[in-house]
Amino acid sequence: MRALIQRVTHASVTVDNKTIGEIAHGLLILVCAMQDDTQANANKLAAKIAKLRIFQDDNGKMNRSLQDTNGSALIVSQFTLAADTSSGNRPGFSTAARPEQGRDLYEHFTTQIQTHGIQTATGEFGADMAVTLTNDGPVTIWMEF
């Protein structure tokens, strides 16, 4: 699975002009299931993100995790993270998981984040979404398992 995580002071996702997910302090997690991904990939990614020390401690060092800070996670499915831009000018997405598998792994990933004691909000799988965020830092990290 692939994820692009952004440390945020606020993030929200809107579908059809209605806010369906919103968080304050925490992480915006854009996540994409790839063709060969399994629940084991989702488990590893969720565990790593929950414990990733990218929040500042009292000395201003990135030394605290999402769990340590009681932050929240806004999890949004984003198949375009599978983009292959190696040839031509139009990205290909053939390495992304098929929609059924992608939805299952997205939902499993969200459940796994919750098992680490993290409050979550989500987007809507497959929907046309508008995501707003205030990136804190900015801190943006690419991850893949």
Residue 37 has what DSSP assignment? -
55 catalytic, yes or no?
no
119 catalytic, yes or no?
no
C-alpha torsion angle, residues 118, 124, 126, 130 (rounded to 10): -100
35 catalytic, yes or no?
no
Query: How far apart are alpha carbons 1 and 22 in whole angstroms?
Result: 23
Q: Which of 6, 14, 78, 122 is catalytic?
A: 78
Q: Which of 6, 14, 55, 79 is catalytic?
A: 79
Q: Which of 9, 38, 80, 115 is catalytic?
A: 80
Ramachandran assignment for 28, one of left (phi > 0), alpha (psi -120 to 50 degrees), beta (any other)? beta
Positions of E strands within the chain: 2-15, 18-23, 26-32, 55-56, 62-64, 72-77, 119-122, 130-144
The residues assigned a catalytic role are: 78-80
